Amino acid sequence: MSAAKPLLQFNDIVCGYGDAMVLRGLSGAVAGGRVLGVLGRNGVGKTTLMRALAGFLPLRQGAVSLGGRDLARVLPHQRLALGMAYAPQEDIVFGDLSVEENLWLHLPDRNPDRYAACLELFSRLVERMNQRAGSLSGGERKLLSFTRTLGLRAALSILDEPSEGVQPENIDRMAQLVRARKAQGAAFVIVEQNLAFLQAVADDLIAIDHGECLLAGEAATFSRETLEAHLMV
CATH of the domain at 19: 3.40.50.300
Instruction: Please report the pLDDT score of residue 232 as a whole number.
Output: 64
Instruction: Please report the pLDDT score of residue 151 as a whole number.
Output: 94
1 inside domain: no
150 inside domain: yes
160 inside domain: yes
What is the residue range of 25's domain?
Answer: 6-229
123 inside domain: yes
Instruction: Please report the pLDDT score of residue 90 as a whole number.
Output: 86
70 inside domain: yes
pLDDT along the chain (233 residues), means of 10: 81 92 94 96 91 95 96 94 94 91 89 94 95 95 96 96 95 98 98 94 94 92 88 62
81 inside domain: yes
Cα separation, 38 vs 209, whole angstroms: 11
Instruction: Please report the pLDDT score of residue 3 as a whole number.
Output: 61
Write the CB contacts of 180 (distance below 8 Å, at least 6 apart in sequence): 117
Instruction: Please report the pLDDT score of residue 108 as a whole number.
Output: 83
**What predicted TM-score, i.e. pTM, was given to this entire model?**
0.93
146 inside domain: yes
Cα separation, 98 vs 96, whole angstroms: 7
